[in-house]
C-alpha cells in the first residue's frame, strides 16, 4: 500500500481558502497528479484542503471521501504559537534530543499537544485497521495486503504528526527537521514480511510540480505552517 500525503496549497487562513498563489500551486499539482496511479482520494473537511483537492478531482474526473479527523490539528499552546512552528533552534536548545517516550514532558507544548496527536493516531490506526492493517506495538499485522495507492489532501500538522507515528520519531524532531511546503507531496509505502508491515518514507516534501514556490527556512518561520 502506498500513501500520498498532500498538503493544501498556499492558504488564506482567515477565510479558510487559498491565496492567488495557492490556486496556481493547486493547478500545477493537479497537472502533475493527472495520471498518477491513485486508487482513492481522501480530503480534510477544511476549505483550503477541499479547494486544493478540487483541481485534481476535476482534472481526473473523480470524487473524494471527506475524513473529518484529517482536519488540521489544534497545535496552539500559547497566543500566536503553534507546536510545529516552534523554530528548531528553540526546539533543540536542550542538551538531549526529545525522545519518543519523553517529548510530552520535554517540550513546552507537550501537555497540550499529546492528546491532540494521540486522537489523530488513534483515528489513523482505526482507518488502517479497516483496510486490513491492524496496529500492534510498533508494527501493523496484515489481515489483508493491499496494492492500492491512496491520496490524502490534508495539512502540515497532520502530515508531520503522522510521519512521527509511522516512522517512530518524536514529533518535535519531525517538526524541526522535515519540510511540508504548501501543495507538497510526501509518500510512504508499506514494507511487508511474514504477515507484518511497517511504513517506509520514499518521498518527502516533493515540490517538483512547482519548485520555484518552495519556502525557504526563513519563510517557514515567518509564514507558519
pLDDT in tens, 106-149: 999 999 999 999 999 999 999 999 999 999 999 999 999 999 99
Terminal-to-terminal C-alpha distance of the chain: 28
pLDDT tens digits for range 83-111 = 999 999 999 999 999 999 999 999 999 99
Q: Give, in degrees to the nearest 5, the angle at Cα 76 between 89 and 155.
A: 85
The H or E element containing residue 53 is helix 47-60
pLDDT exceeds 70 at position 220? no
43 SS3 class: strand
Distance CA 37, CA 44 (A): 21
More confident residue, 212 or 151: 151
Distance CA 48, CA 51 (A): 5
Strand positions, DSSP E, the chain? 2-7, 11-12, 17-18, 40-43, 65-66, 76-78, 81-82, 133-136, 139-142, 149-154, 185-193, 196-206
Q: How confident is the model at residue 24 (pLDDT cuts 50, 70, 90)?
A: very high
pLDDT tens digits for range 26-75 = 999 999 999 999 999 999 999 999 999 999 999 999 999 999 999 999 99
Count of Cβ atoms closer than 10 Å to residue 68 Cβ: 9
Lowest mean pLDDT among 90-99, 119-128, 184-193, 205-214: 205-214
204 SS3 class: strand
Dihedral in degrees, nearest 10, Cα atoms 207, 185, 13, 31: 70
The H or E element containing residue 105 is helix 103-106
For residue 224, the model assigns a pLDDT of 47
CA atoms within 13 A on the CB side of 131: 21
Inter-residue contact 10 to 184 (CB < 8 Å): no
For residue 219, the model assigns a pLDDT of 47
What would the grid cell of residue 10 be?
498556499
Amino acid at each position: 500500500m502506498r500513501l500520498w500525503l498532500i498538503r493544501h496549497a498556499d492558504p488564506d487562513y482567515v477565510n479558510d481558502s487559498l491565496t492567488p498563489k495557492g490556486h496556481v500551486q493547486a493547478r500545477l499539482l493537479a497537472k502533475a497528479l493527472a495520471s498518477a496511479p491513485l486508487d482513492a482520494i481522501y480530503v480534510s473537511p477544511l476549505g483550503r484542503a477541499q479547494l486544493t483537492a478540487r483541481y485534481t478531482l476535476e482534472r481526473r474526473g473523480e470524487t473524494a471521501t471527506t475524513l473529518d479527523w484529517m482536519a488540521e490539528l489544534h497545535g496552539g499552546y500559547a497566543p500566536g504559537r503553534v507546536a510545529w512552528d516552534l523554530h528548531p533552534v528553540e526546539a533543540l536548545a536542550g542538551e538531549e534530543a526529545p525522545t519518543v517516550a519523553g517529548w510530552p514532558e520535554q517540550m513546552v507544548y507537550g501537555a497540550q499537544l499529546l492528546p491532540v496527536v494521540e486522537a489523530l493516531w488513534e483515528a489513523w490506526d482505526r482507518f488502517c485497521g479497516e483496510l486490513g492493517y491492524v496496529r500492534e506495538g510498533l508494527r501493523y499485522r496484515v489481515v489483508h495486503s493491499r496494492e492500492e495507492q491512496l491520496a490524502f489532501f490534508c495539512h502540515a500538522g497532520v502530515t508531520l504528526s503522522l510521519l512521527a507515528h509511522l516512522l517512530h520519531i518524536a514529533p518535535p524532531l519531525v517538526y524541526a527537521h522535515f519540510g511540508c511546503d504548501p501543495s507538497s507531496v510526501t509518500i510512504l509505502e508499506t514494507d511487508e514480511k511474514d504477515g507484518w508491515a511497517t511504513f517506509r518514507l520514499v518521498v518527502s516534501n516533493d515540490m517538483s510540480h512547482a519548485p520555484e514556490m518552495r519556502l525557504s527556512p526563513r519563510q517557514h518561520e515567518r509564514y507558519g505552517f
